Structure 1
């Protein structure tokens, strides 16, 4: 009897692995299929036949090369600014006790939830041609023209991105600082080490994985930033996302837009891999 009861159970198919099917289907429909359509449109010309000359012409064009250079320069500069500002804020919030430090950290975190164009709009009111700063300088010194114009340049884009994305560096740094043994800092202070040497020898080595993780995430986000660049409208500052928009919407050159989009996706995936490696190192 026991053998007869066990036979149907043994014959049942193993369905434990089927739970992966729904997420794979969602991934294929939401990401892989649209990406395949973009890749197909990048390779095929208007006739529907492979058009590699169009691909090479796009990759060798001056607008694409300038956009690639602008994207890299702005992303690297913004990431460096995020690291510098995030590190300074994290050191102050973690090791310089003052009333309201937790509230200040929460207020800084709110920048993560805000749309990027709101920060850019606020900067327009502050630093724009008719903004508060230019208005005060023009009236105070009797100037005929507004003296501050950096907002409508690559520096304005960098400043906005640093303001928006610095919390992505601040958060992991604060988490890393909370794991530092305070006795090490106290011993270093008792031995006569100056504050900067304590930061350099004790704090920064422990925070390096967090800084790498936060910095690589900022690099990924700034490479793909579109709203800030579009809203500021800096003359001559065209990045890859903005060039894709121009090619697709303004010029209706969908093959060139898809070619540039594939480059942008490849760059983003590479940076995401860097972020995952850094995050894994931080967690391990």
Structure 2
């Protein structure tokens, strides 16, 4: 592609990010500090206990990341090393938590670990441990996919040589395998840390007001106390943290790209079944227990009460003029449009990033990934400020929700497509161009066959991320544009077993939809590595 075309690839993605991401943040900052009545930034941060919030945010994110690595790395080893019957189903089960709405994950662990839940005897229902476990459940897929894709393509000859020289399995793992996997592990850890540091729904529900991160405190200051200056000041701190983590993640992900042909998986035999069976058992319990408890409480909303389908019947009963089933229909339509927007912009952004070099590439990567990590609450508040000053035709437009969802999904599309595009041999492009093919024909005949599975996977993940988005969508949704995650949050905020049953039934409905999409993605990507 001609060098002059490179800036053109950036135009649409950068314009979209500037309008949909930069504009709300600037509008919120102007609203908070524009009147001149606010105190200085250090004083605002001091009054909001920013230092303590930052410390707790980093500490819980680090603990959650460590727990995720402890569980995720063994699963990555099993899937990368052994040929197992049911491996496809295991990949689906591992991936489902990552695409569930965070509010659903929070509800699942609240029910599972609550006083009257199956694991209530542990006494950790509303505690730091509950937050860490929920984050671990949510982020296992990041570790399994990122590390597993590299592990599956490590050259086995180095390990074989070490074994020939007398090293046992543990020494080979410590001295050969783990050093080779270190960049991938660090890359996965940085992404998990980012998601845990900016987690909203999980901390809001499981923290129960006792534990607050920067994200939940931004919400509390803005919505609970309507102190916009304090909320914006905390958002600035969070943006700095996110920018640092995204930069580190971008650098590590470049080093973590897998190279070489996939190693040959083998069937476990003899003693090899012991660690494999143990890992599979523990992982399946961890991954299946929360969805199972959602299903259980959807048909038995009151512990010790009768079994019933009241929650599912309520899906067809009107709530504020719209039934939950209509909310699901709107969610599907909205997520489809968000997927289309995210795919177009993500593809252009990925093409630009692959062709960019040096400082430009690094800066563009950080800008592209920022919407994935910056406070959805902050972005949502910014939209409220903007929309209140717009004509009713715009402020109530049903196009706003899919546009916001596309903003959140676009960075994930880019993250999936960039590694796939990096596998295209540039010599083939040059040879095709030499034969007279135009740039679009070169891309269609050379690039597309290589990245078509990644495109399908990116589209699937964009869809499920969009349909499950909760933070920013909750601020821009209207009665006729209410998505299912927003409806779940509203139902949980209302007292009564009926509202709880409706929330559980909606959560199960979301679980079924995301599981179906993830299963389709895995079928498309069967036997193909890849990272998020």
Tell me the SS of whatever aligns to 2:125. helix
Deviation at 1:205, TM superposition (A): 1.2
Distance 1:224 1:19 in 2: 29
C-alpha deviations, 1:216-244, integer Å up to 9, x for none? Answer: 11111111100001121345201111101
Matches within 5 A, 1:209-220: 209-220=183-194
C-alpha deviations, 1:92-138, integer Å up to 9, x for none? Answer: 2223554333431232122222122222322233221000133xxxx
Distance 1:15 1:232 in 2: 49
Equivalent position of 2:243 in the other structure? 269
Query: Is residue 24 of structure 2 the alignment partner of residue 34 of structure 1?
Result: yes
Tell me the SS of whatever aligns to 1:283. coil
Task: Give the conservation status (yes or no) of the 8 Å contact 1:153–1:235.
Answer: no
2:36 to 49, 54, 62: 49
Task: Give the conservation status (yes or no) of the 8 Å contact 1:42–1:55.
Answer: no
Gapped runs of 5+ residues in structure 1? 1-13, 135-146
Looking at both structures, which has the greater relative contact order when contacts are Cα pairs under 8 Å and sequence separation is at least 6?
A: 1
Deviation at 1:202, TM superposition (A): 1.8
Equivalent position of 2:225 in the other structure? 251
Equivalent position of 1:151 in the other structure? 125
Tell me the SS of whatever aligns to 1:151. coil
TM-aligned CA distance change 1:187 to 1:148, over 3 Å: same
Query: Is residue 34 of structure 2 the alignment partner of residue 60 of structure 1?
Result: no
Equivalent position of 1:117 in the other structure? 103
Deviation at 1:20, TM superposition (A): 4.6
C-alpha deviations, 1:167-206, integer Å up to 9, x for none? Answer: 1111111111112122333333344322211211221111
Bigger drift between 76-85 and 222-231 goes to 76-85
C-alpha deviations, 1:33-69, integer Å up to 9, x for none? Answer: 222223334544xxx1274x34222211363332212
Distance 2:65 2:230 in 1: 28
Distance 2:31 2:241 in 1: 19
C-alpha deviations, 1:256-282, integer Å up to 9, x for none? Answer: 111111111121111111111111122
Task: Give the conservation status (yes or no) of the 8 Å contact 2:113–2:130.
Answer: no
Matches within 5 A, 1:99-248: 99-134=85-120, 147-248=121-222
Tell me the SS of whatever aligns to 2:153. coil
Distance 1:170 1:278 in 2: 16
Equivalent position of 2:78 in the other structure? 92
Equivalent position of 2:59 in the other structure? 73
Which of structures 1 and 2 has the bigger CA Rg? 1
TM-aligned CA distance change 1:229 to 1:270, over 3 Å: same
Task: Give the conservation status (yes or no) of the 8 Å contact 2:150–2:257.
Answer: no
- Kindly tell me the number of residue pairs found equivalent between the two proteins: 255
Equivalent position of 1:137 in the other structure? none
RMSD: 2.4
Task: Give the conservation status (yes or no) of the 8 Å contact 2:128–2:207.
Answer: no
Distance 1:266 1:16 in 2: 28
Gapped runs of 5+ residues in structure 2? 259-532
